[in-house]
Structures are given as structure tokens and as C-alpha cells.
């Protein structure tokens, strides 16, 4: 009887298995199509920020808006919803369960945005980028103000479409750091602001500022450029699957696992700017190049959050690129790049100069002790804008007041103030907190790395970065979006997320550099 029942149900079982396989195949086909469209849009964005003629901006906005509409229409098709619902009730492999789970999350959010809104928002941000570029060039916020007002209206509409419990800011923050809210960030940032400000005060009071006068000169741009390429290759960036270009604001973009590109900004009057920019973006690129090849053209082949993404860039730029072993290795190479210019500068002097603590206007050039203060300024302004306590017209005044309060500086002009970052022109309000979270995640991960690879600093001093990269590939990169950021952090470190490792890192490093007493 049992055998008969089994034989009777066997054809139905086979049909069920076949249906599941067919549904997965169809879902992956749609995903691949969506991914192709997104990659084409990314390529157009990359061109816009590197080589595109200024007069091409209106046309580029139309092109991007059209592609955004097609991508949104394809991804939010009810057929996708039906496939996800059917697969959600099917027996699937663990990998396919994760794929359906992540895609369901993305689908639910995407279907809350009408196609017309997506098209309008894409067109407006494309146009805003060119307006911001002009405003920054002329250091005149009033040029950008109307565009930012328009984007803010759209962002508030977007928040309402997504929905939120406490603050409209949370709906936007979710896009970059899933699960995080403004309410959770406020106490973290308040504690960091107090403790980092106190550390900066101790450093300034020590009177032990390193001599950095030798850096203030004109440095050959081509030599700087070649040095950045040298370092990128060394840390493991695959130039057969990427390239580096120049842009106003350094960034990383990818068009798939085997085409991950970075940019940097070369300043003839700043010896370290191009290098730190390249290493930072290289950290992002290594994360993207380390995704599981089997996840290509699916949502799993992405960083799990912008905070975790920033942990990779901040770790490579700061923990490694601003370390003493790093400069012991690269000091001779840098001397070769700039013949006759650095013969009397030691590795220790280079290390001290690149870690000089000094409140400054520009976030991307800020030292580690003041960097998070720049983020807190932006976070507070963004929340006030989204919650209606601050008008766009009052942004420069609010910005300047906060810079004075947190950094003790009087802002010289809009270019060095509220126009310095590209993010608002992209409509990326909610993005900035991920930089600070990246610092915290990086420090916690690296404490475990030092335990797991006892000779890590010996490897760095010899220019061998493979042990570090392999650890990151295994514990962070390969997971893509299979795990959430906090899950990756807990599994890799065995500890709950905390800001304490970051403060221990700062106090140990800068306590030694500046001769601070405990």
C-alpha cells in the first residue's frame, strides 16, 4: 500500500521539482536582464563623472531616465512577484533560499515606487550632478539650491512611498544600511563626538605635532598617478578586471564581477591625496572583485551594506595605508618616484605626516581622529532637512555653524563647505552615516585579523598583502548579501558590534604618535 501511494505521487513530485527548477530559471533570467540594464546605467554614470562633455548632460539625463524606467518596469512586473511567492513555498537549496529572500526584500521596496517617480528622480539627479559641479566650481551654493530643493521634495515623497515608523530619514537610511535608524545612530554618534573631540584636544595640547612642512610643495602629478597604480596592484586589485581614472570626487563602480572601476583625484599640492583616494576606492573594489562568481547577475553579488563596504575601504586606507609598517615598505619606492625630493625624509616622517591630526574643512582629506565629526555634521543636517526643521536655503549657515562647533573652524567658502561632497546631487541622503559605521566595523574586524594572522604587520612591512586579502575574502567578501552586516561582524569576530575597538585603535595609535599619557 505504501509503495502504491509512492508510485501514485511520484509523477506529481517530478512535476513539482520541474516547476521549481523552471521558476528559478525564469527568475534568474529576469534578474540577469535587470542586472544588464543596471550595469548599462552604471557605465553611463561612470562616463558622466569622468569623460562626458558638459553639454551632453541633458541628453544623458534622458538616457538614464529611460533605462531606469525599463529596469523598474522589468523588476516590478507582477510576474516577478508571482515567481517569488511560488518559490517561497517550494523546497529550495540554501543558496536559492537566500536568493529568493533577498530578492523578495528588494521587490517589496521597488514595488512601492511608481515607474513615473523612478524616471523623474533619475532625470533630476542626473541634471543635479552637473549643476552641483558648476556650483562647486564657482563656490556658490545658490546655483545648486533650486536643484537640492527639488531633490529634497522628491526624497520626502520617496520616504512616504517606502513608509517608516519614526523618521522619514529612516526610509532613506534603509537603502544604504538595512535595519539601521536615526534613533539608533544618535547615541552612537553622540558618544563618538564626545570621545573623539576629547582625544583631539589632548593631541593639540600635547604640542607634539609632526613636521609636515616638507609635504607642502608641488608634486608631479604623473609620478603620483604611477605610485597609486603601483599600490593598487600590490594590495590585490585586478587591473584585468578593472581600471583607474580621474574624477572630481573619487568613487568606485562596477558593471559586473570582471569590470570593477575606481577613480581618484590628483592634487599637485597634496602628496597623499591621490594615494589615499586610490587605496580607499581600491578597498571598495576588492570587495566587489571578491564576490562569489556563481552569484553573478543576481542581488547576492553585492556588498551587504554600505557600512560593511566602507569597512573595507577604511581598513585598507587607514588601518593599512596609514600604518608604520606600510610606510617602512613604501618609503624607498616613493623616493624613487620623486627623485631628489625625499632623500632626507624617513619612513617614520612619512608615517607621522600622513597621520597628522589637524581639524580641516574637507571630509575626504580629514585625519582619522576628526573624520567622524565630518559625518556627524552631515547626518544632523540631513535629518533636519528630512524632518522639516531646516530649509535648503539655510544649509550653508547651518553647515558653517556646525563646523565651528565640532571642528573649531570658520568655513572659507561654499566649495570648502556644504558643496564639497557629490552625494546630495545623487539624491543620496542617508548615505553619510555608513562612513562612520565603516570605521567602527573595520576596527572590530581588524582586532580579530590581528589574532588570526599574528604576523600580519610583518607581511605588510614586506609588501605582502595576500594574507589579509584572503582573510577578507573568506570572512566578508564571498558572502555578498547572504548575510547582513551585523551577522558578518558577529560571525567573523565572535562579538557583538561595538564602537570600543575603534576607540582603542585611535587611542593606541595616536597616543604613541603624540606621546600622550594614559
For the chain, what is the largest distance between any 2 Cα atoms, rounded to a whole number of angstroms? 92
206 CB-contact burial (10 Å; exposed 0-12 / middle 13-18 / buried 19+)? middle
Q: Which residues are catalytic, by number? A: 281
State the alpha helices, DSSP H only, in 174-298: 182-206, 221-235, 273-289
**C-alpha to C-alpha distance for 511 and 491, rounded to whole angstroms:** 30
Do β-strands 244-246 and 252-254 pair in parallel, antiparallel, or remain unpaired?
unpaired
**C-alpha to C-alpha distance for 399 and 145, rounded to whole angstroms:** 14
**C-alpha to C-alpha distance for 386 and 424, rounded to whole angstroms:** 13
Q: How many CB atoms lie within 10 A of CB 62?
A: 14
Which cell numbers in the block locate residue 301? 553579488
State the alpha helices, DSSP H only, in 290-357: 306-314, 324-337, 347-354
Which cell numbers in the block locate residue 338? 620623486
**Nearest to 251, CA basis, from 189, 318, 323, 306:** 306
For the chain, what's the residue count?
A: 518
**C-alpha to C-alpha distance for 187 and 98, rounded to whole angstroms:** 32
Amino acid at each position: 500500500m505504501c509503495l502504491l501511494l509512492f508510485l501514485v505521487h511520484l509523477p506529481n513530485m517530478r512535476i513539482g521539482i520541474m516547476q521549481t527548477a523552471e521558476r528559478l530559471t525564469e527568475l534568474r533570467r529576469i534578474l540577469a536582464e535587470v542586472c544588464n540594464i543596471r550595469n548599462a546605467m552604471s557605465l553611463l554614470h561612470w562616463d558622466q563623472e569622468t569623460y562626458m562633455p558638459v553639454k551632453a548632460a541633458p541628453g544623458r539625463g534622458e538616457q538614464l531616465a529611460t533605462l531606469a524606467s525599463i529596469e523598474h518596469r522589468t523588476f516590478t512586473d507582477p510576474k516577478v512577484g508571482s515567481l517569488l511567492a511560488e518559490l517561497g513555498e517550494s523546497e529550495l537549496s540554501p543558496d536559492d533560499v537566500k536568493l529568493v529572500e533577498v530578492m523578495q526584500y528588494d521587490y517589496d521596496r521597488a514595488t512601492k515606487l511608481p515607474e513615473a517617480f523612478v524616471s523623474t528622480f533619475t532625470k533630476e539627479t542626473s541634471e543635479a550632478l552637473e549643476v552641483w559641479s558648476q556650483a562647486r566650481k564657482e563656490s556658490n551654493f545658490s546655483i545648486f539650491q533650486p536643484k537640492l530643493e527639488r531633490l529634497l521634495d522628491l526624497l520626502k515623497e520617496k520616504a512616504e512611498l517606502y513608509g517608516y515608523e519614526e523618521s522619514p530619514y529612516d526610509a532613506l537610511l534603509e537603502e544604504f544600511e538595512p535595519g539601521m535608524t536615526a534613533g539608533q545612530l544618535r547615541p552612537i554618534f553622540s558618544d563618538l563626538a564626545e570621545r573623539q573631540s576629547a582625544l583631539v584636544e589632548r593631541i593639540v595640547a600635547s604640542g607634539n605635532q609632526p613636521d609636515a612642512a616638507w609635504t607642502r610643495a608641488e608634486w608631479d602629478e604623473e609620478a603620483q598617478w604611477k605610485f597609486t597604480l603601483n599600490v593598487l596592484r600590490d594590495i590585490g586589485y585586478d587591473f584585468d578586471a578593472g581600471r583607474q581614472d580621474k574624477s572630481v570626487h573619487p568613487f568606485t563602480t562596477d558593471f559586473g564581477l570582471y569590470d570593477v572601476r575606481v577613480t581618484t583625484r590628483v592634487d599637485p599640492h597634496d602628496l597623499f591625496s591621490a594615494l589615499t583616494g586610490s587605496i580607499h576606492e581600491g578597498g571598495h573594489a576588492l570587495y566587489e572583485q571578491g564576490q562569489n562568481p556563481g552569484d553573478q547577475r543576481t542581488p547576492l553579488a553585492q556588498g551587504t551594506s554600505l557600512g560593511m563596504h566602507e569597512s573595507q575601504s577604511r581598513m585598507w586606507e587607514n588601518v593599512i595605508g596609514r600604518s608604520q609598517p606600510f610606510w617602512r615598505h613604501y618609503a624607498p619606492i616613493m623616493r624613487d618616484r620623486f627623485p631628489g625630493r625625499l632623500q632626507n625624509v624617513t619612513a617614520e616622517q612619512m608615517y607621522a605626516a600622513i597621520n597628522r591630526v589637524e581639524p580641516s574643512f574637507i571630509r575626504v582629506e580629514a585625519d582619522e581622529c576628526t573624520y567622524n565629526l565630518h559625518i556627524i555634521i552631515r547626518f544632523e543636517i540631513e535629518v533636519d532637512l528630512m524632518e522639516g526643521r531646516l530649509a535648503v536655503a539655510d544649509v550653508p549657515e547651518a553647515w558653517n555653524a556646525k563646523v565651528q562647533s565640532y571642528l573649531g573652524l570658520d568655513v572659507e567658502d561654499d566649495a570648502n563647505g556644504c558643496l564639497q561632497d557629490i552625494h546630495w546631487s545623487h539624491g543620496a541622503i542617508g548615505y553619510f552615516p555608513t562612513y562612520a559605521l565603516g570605521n567602527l566595523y573595520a576596527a572590530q574586524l581588524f582586532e580579530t585579523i590581528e589574532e588570526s594572522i599574528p604576523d600580519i604587520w610583518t607581511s605588510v612591512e614586506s609588501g605582502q598583502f595576500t594574507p589579509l586579502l584572503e582573510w577578507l575574502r573568506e570572512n566578508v567578501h564571498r558572502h555578498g548579501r547572504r548575510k547582513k552586516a551585523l551577522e558578518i561582524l558577529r560571525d567573523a569576530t565572535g562579538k557583538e558590534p561595538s564602537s570600543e575597538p575603534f576607540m582603542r585603535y585611535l587611542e593606541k595609535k595616536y597616543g604613541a604618535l603624540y606621546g600622550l599619557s594614559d
